[in-house]
């Protein structure tokens, strides 16, 4: 049921953009909806006793962003980002065990800089929270507190569309991952998790 709920959230966010008319955006704010796929590095890795890694699969990602009007080629932004994927443990002998599904939600505040040739760059900081499908294994004591997250992105406008501005975007982010159960098992430090997302972004309204 929880995985079905996650899929519903993705569908709702994907369909949100066409429902927002420019006259509904205060102070000429622009609204973006981005959808694509995300790759992330290992959540957990141990090479001392029984080598293994725990890693999320390729994940669908949806993000909604509000952007203020441009001031000297800069614009302020707030972004809500959601992705969901299955997680597997892979042992050194090649064995692979599914560990269920986990979703992440992030709130990011940042800046966008317009560049020549239809390019734009973004930088942001915020918080990220994990939502496991089951409270077992490394999530048996919950997912822990909100993790800090930093993001960088570069996008290129596409010469298509009349009501929407479309762009292809590559986005990188990094955050620390740990849970109460992992700390109980001796993983005392949060592991840096690096993620890369490739998305198509649609914007309605002009900042």
Q: Which residue has the tokens 């709702």?
A: 12
Quick one: which of 107, 103, 112 has its CA closest to 80?
A: 107
pTM, to two decimals? 0.82
- Summarize pLDDT for 146-192 with one digit per residue, the tens: 999 999 999 999 988 666 789 999 999 999 999 999 999 888 889 99
Domain 2-21+31-204 CATH (choose: 2.60.40.1120, 3.10.129.10, 1.10.3470.10, 2.40.160.20): 2.40.160.20
Question: Does 24 or 76 have the greater pLDDT score?
Answer: 76
The radius of gyration of the chain from alpha carbons, rounded to an integer in Å, stands at: 19
Domain boundaries, the chain: 2-21+31-204
Quick one: which of 34, 124, 108 has its CA closest to 74?
A: 124
Tokens of 205: 């309204």
DSSP state of 71: B
């Amino acid at each position: 049921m929880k995985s079905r709920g996650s899929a519903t959230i993705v569908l709702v966010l994907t369909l949100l953009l066409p429902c927002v008319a420019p006259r509904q955006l205060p102070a000429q704010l622009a609204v973006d909806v981005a959808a694509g796929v995300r790759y992330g590095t290992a959540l957990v890795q141990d090479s001392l006793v029984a080598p293994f890694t725990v890693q999320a699969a390729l994940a669908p990602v949806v993000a909604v962003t509000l952007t203020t009007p441009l001031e000297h080629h800069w614009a302020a932004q707030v972004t809500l980002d959601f992705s969901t994927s299955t997680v597997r443990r892979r042992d050194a002998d090649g064995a692979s065990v599914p560990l269920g599904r986990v979703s992440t939600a992030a709130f990011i505040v940042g800046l966008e800089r317009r560049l020549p040739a239809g390019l734009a760059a973004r930088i942001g900081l915020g918080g990220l929270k994990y939502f496991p499908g089951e409270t077992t294994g490394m999530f048996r004591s919950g997912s822990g507190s909100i993790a800090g997250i930093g993001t960088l992105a570069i996008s290129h406008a596409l010469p298509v569309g009349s009501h929407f501005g479309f762009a292809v975007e590559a986005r990188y982010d990094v955050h620390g991952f740990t849970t109460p159960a992992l700390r109980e098992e001796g993983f005392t430090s949060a592991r840096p998790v690096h993620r890369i997302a490739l998305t198509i972004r649609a914007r309605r309204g002009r900042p």
